[in-house]
Amino acid sequence: MSVEKELIEMCPTLRPSWKEFMNFSEFVEKAEKKYGGSHGMIKVIPPENYIGTRKMSENEINEVVLKGPIE
């Protein structure tokens, strides 16, 4: 009896250009068409000059209530 190993592909990592990143919904639609049928998720790394605008304070983080289990 032989045992075959099942290969699991890594999560695709995408690095959009600044122009692609600024139209994020279009970028996601293209990524969904390309990877949606074969992967459950993708990882998006923003361009180097991107600075996130939403930061949660420690109080905000402590007040987050999950309504169901994370799966």
The total number of structural domains in the chain stands at 1
Using the 8-state DSSP alphabet, how is residue 13 labeled? E
pLDDT tens-place string over residues 21-69: 999 999 999 999 998 878 878 889 999 888 877 777 777 878 878 788 7
- Residue reference for tokens 């190993």: 5
Q: Indicate whether 65 belongs to any domain.
A: no
Question: Which residues constitute the domain of residue 32?
Answer: 23-48
Residue 15 lies in a domain: no
State CA 55 to chain mean position distance. 18
| pTM score, whole prediction | 0.57
In whole angstroms, how far apart are CA 1 and each of 4, 5, 7, 23?
10, 13, 19, 52
Look at residue 14 and tell me if it is in a domain: no
